[in-house]
Amino acid sequence: MTSPIQQNMFDQLAERALFEQAKTYAYDYMDTVAERPVYPLPESLEKLTIFDEPVPAKAQSGEETLRLLHEIGSPATVAQTAGRYFGFVNGNAVPTAVAARWLTDVWDQNAALHVMSPIVAKLEQVCERWANQLLGLPSETAAGIVSGTSIATMCGLAAGRYALLSKVGWDVNGDGLFGAPPIRVVLSDQSHSTVFKALALLGLGRNRVELVPSDEQGRIDIDQMPELDSNTLLILQAGNVNSGAFDDFERACTLAQEAGAWVHIDGAFGLWAAASPDLRHLTQGIEKADSWSTDGHKTLNTPYDCAMVLCKDRSALVASMQATGAYIQYSDHRDNMLLTPDMSRRARAVELWATLRALGEDGLAEMLDGMCSAARLFAEKLSAAGFQVLNDVVFNQVMIAADSPEQTTAVLAGVQQSGECWCGGSQWHGEPVIRISVCSWATTAEDVDRSVQAFIAAKNKTS
């Protein structure tokens, strides 16, 4: 006996029409995305009210659901995959990874335990080994595959909190922080907001920190860093979210090692510089840290949501992420949930593995170098067009200003409305700036040219 809803779903699987329809829509999107305005048009956004329907009382047709998603949803997407999107630090998934994700969507694996999915456990293990090698980290480093750097940073700091307190005989995982010996947190005033969020979640406090001033590029000023000790978590940054600047890891990590402090590096998009021979000088010394967080979905160009926490002391990470239950069946293999806060989750390691495999060591370096040369080209051309470039373009980030703060704000609005490209704004040393992040494998010199023209047109409109 099958119920009508069951029968309907069996039929959908057997007939495959839904899947063919999804494939056709996906190809349609891929074929047209480069011609679309980079940001959705106002009329496309207005149509989103169509989704404000009540919960359907009856089962709806799958075909109709997909049609709605493509006809109304696709035009309201941001054309991030076309090479002229420079907002935030948003990547663009490499094709092999997207295709691998399609396949594994059909697998619908739970990546929590080896017994739930031996293939995903295997791929997580391979990703761990590959990442350590590509990033030049100690080979014993453990990797937990998580949804983003926000979570990865929280995991790295949790491991550090545990390790520092264990040394003085306090089990923070068992006994919590109330009554625990105090630990210090030292970080720069340019740390990413998600670092402060992680500190808040971990009971370490957003405000209970020792803030170190940063230099004009946004690097931690080591000369102004307080004396470190063995109760200190020091948080460094590989890739300032505005300027792309890298802290001096060699010097800061050496000081931390001498003091017995724990170093965590937030390398959301910058850590991958270590994978390019031409960019590796930026990350010199990172291997001396204790934990690292990095995204797949930024400069590495995996699909969303994909990131890694890396931790030299595997036992500190595992101790901080442990969960027990009579029904949990740990194996002699890798059990992924021992390394992350979540339990059930999708097989995001597949895309990480597919991305790294599709690019290879050489391709990865070539892709990263390409992002950096496009960023330098932007800086050159915009400077020639009379804009100010406010940062040393060492990686993929460029900060631009026009002749006055008001003009900068007006140019940003003009560029965003142009549909030609999309950049975000930020503040730098108290003034508004336009922030260009080249973070897509697809960006070409022509894309840079066309975008620079949009900047010039927007500036001409203001005068």
Residues lying near ligand PLP in the complex (CB under 6 A) are found at: 89, 148-150, 192, 194, 239, 241, 266, 268-269, 295, 307
According to DSSP, the β-strands at 431-437 and 142-146 are unpaired
Sheet of 232-237, strand order: 142-146, 307-311, 291-295, 262-266, 232-237, 184-188, 210-212
Q: How much is the CA Rg of the chain, to the nearest whole Å?
A: 24
**Minimum separation from the CB atom of position 443 to ligand PLP (A):** 18
Residue placing its CB nearer to ligand PLP in the complex, 307 or 311: 307
**Minimum separation from the CB atom of position 188 to ligand PLP (A):** 12
Centre a 10 Å sphere on the Cβ of residue 311 and count the other Cβ atoms it contains.
32
Positive or negative torsion for Cα 256, 298, 282, 313 = positive
Write the secondary structure of the chain as one string of H (helix), E (strand) and C (coil).
CCCHHHHHHHHHHHHCHHHHHHHHHHHHHHHHHHHCCCCCCHHHHHHHHHHCCCCCCCCCCHHHHHHHHHHHHHHHCCCCCCCCECCCCCCCCCHHHHHHHHHHHHHCCCCCCCCCCHHHHHHHHHHHHHHHHHHCCCCCCEEEEECCHHHHHHHHHHHHHHHHHHHCCCCHHHHCCCCCCCCEEEEECCCCHHHHHHHHHCCCCCCCCEEECECCCCCECHHHCCCCCCCEEEEEEECCCCCCCECCHHHHHHHHHHHCCEEEEECCCCHHHHHCCCCHHHHCCHHHCCEEEEECCCCCCCCCCCEEEEECCHHHHHHHHCCCCCCCCCCCCCCHHHHCCCCCCCCCHHHHHHHHHHHHHHHHHHHHHHHHHHHHHHHHHHHHCCCEECCCCCCCEEEEECCCHHHHHHHHHHHHHHCCCECEEEEECCEEEEEEECCCCCCCHHHHHHHHHHHHHHHHHHC
**Minimum separation from the CB atom of position 306 to ligand PLP (A):** 9
Residue placing its CB nearer to ligand PLP in the complex, 192 or 334: 192
Positive or negative torsion for Cα 70, 75, 78, 80 = positive
Q: Which residue is nearest to ligand PLP (CB)?
A: 148
**Minimum separation from the CB atom of position 148 to ligand PLP (A):** 3
Residue placing its CB nearer to ligand PLP in the complex, 266 or 335: 266
**Minimum separation from the CB atom of position 349 to ligand PLP (A):** 16
**Minimum separation from the CB atom of position 153 to ligand PLP (A):** 6
**Minimum separation from the CB atom of position 240 to ligand PLP (A):** 7
Find, among 85, 54, 392, the residue nearest to 246 by Cα. 392
Residue placing its CB nearer to ligand PLP in the complex, 266 or 290: 266
Residue placing its CB nearer to ligand PLP in the complex, 150 or 443: 150
Residue placing its CB nearer to ligand PLP in the complex, 225 or 241: 241
**Minimum separation from the CB atom of position 247 to ligand PLP (A):** 11
Residue placing its CB nearer to ligand PLP in the complex, 245 or 448: 245
Residue placing its CB nearer to ligand PLP in the complex, 241 or 434: 241
**Minimum separation from the CB atom of position 241 to ligand PLP (A):** 4
Residue placing its CB nearer to ligand PLP in the complex, 148 or 303: 148
**Minimum separation from the CB atom of position 49 to ligand PLP (A):** 28
**Minimum separation from the CB atom of position 170 to ligand PLP (A):** 28
Residue placing its CB nearer to ligand PLP in the complex, 66 or 154: 154
Residue placing its CB nearer to ligand PLP in the complex, 239 or 303: 239
